[in-house]
Structure 1
Amino acid sequence: MRIGELAERTGVSTRSLRYYEQHGLLSARRSPNGYRDYSEDDVRLVSEIRALLSVGFTLEDTRPFVDCLRRGHSTGGSCSESVEVYERKLNEIDAEIRALLARRAEVAAQLSRSCPGCFVRG
């Protein structure tokens, strides 16, 4: 399939697909007329990349998942390298949550000092 069809089927712009290709996450074959040619496997790769990006993974984070799919696994998260990325991302999210809770507590304390009796939710 050509790049436009892959873009339509995956909900990703052609520009993004070219970007993924530049970073080695996609590898288009070329038809005799020079057009990029993608397979059904590429639909799965792009869908995996898109799903990971949508929950905060970086493009580089997606590489182990893509490699896992390319090695024939049914899911990109079933390889040990992908599990390591999941674990690292969860640790990052937990750290962000702790930082947000600390910021929230500080803002609530400032409100309480500035406005005794004001209701602080949460």
Structure 2
Amino acid sequence: MSKPLPEHVTRAEVAETLRLSLRQVDRLAKEGTLKKLKLSASRSGFEREDFDRYLQTLTGGDGYVSRIAVLAVEIPTGIPYTVNELAERLDASLCQRLPGCLIKVDGRKIQIAWNAALGYTPEQIL
């Protein structure tokens, strides 16, 4: 049985996704935009749901905002893997092939989000 996706994202994952430096990510935390969590003695990160909410807010506002591309894949029933197992495999593959993608499981769907400026296409993702 596979473990579920982690309930947090690291500072490095946030920085890579948003195309920011670690210092800029720390500023977002200091401003209260993202709530920082202590993951271990030497690592910090953010709740995945909090980061997902922040990504959703990036679609409006007065200044420049990077466009976020999202792809949702519905997983049919009767396959030999759970949705979380498939999401974990997809996440591992995308980390190597197309860095900067975030994976989220929503019921029977796997949602994949990335900064549209990266130029990834749904065909490349799948």
- TM-score, with structure 2 as normaliser: 0.35
Higher helix share: 1
Higher strand share: 2
Structure ranking higher on relative contact order (CA contacts 8 Å, 6+ apart): 2
* Higher Rg of the two aligned structures: 1
- TM-score, with structure 1 as normaliser: 0.36
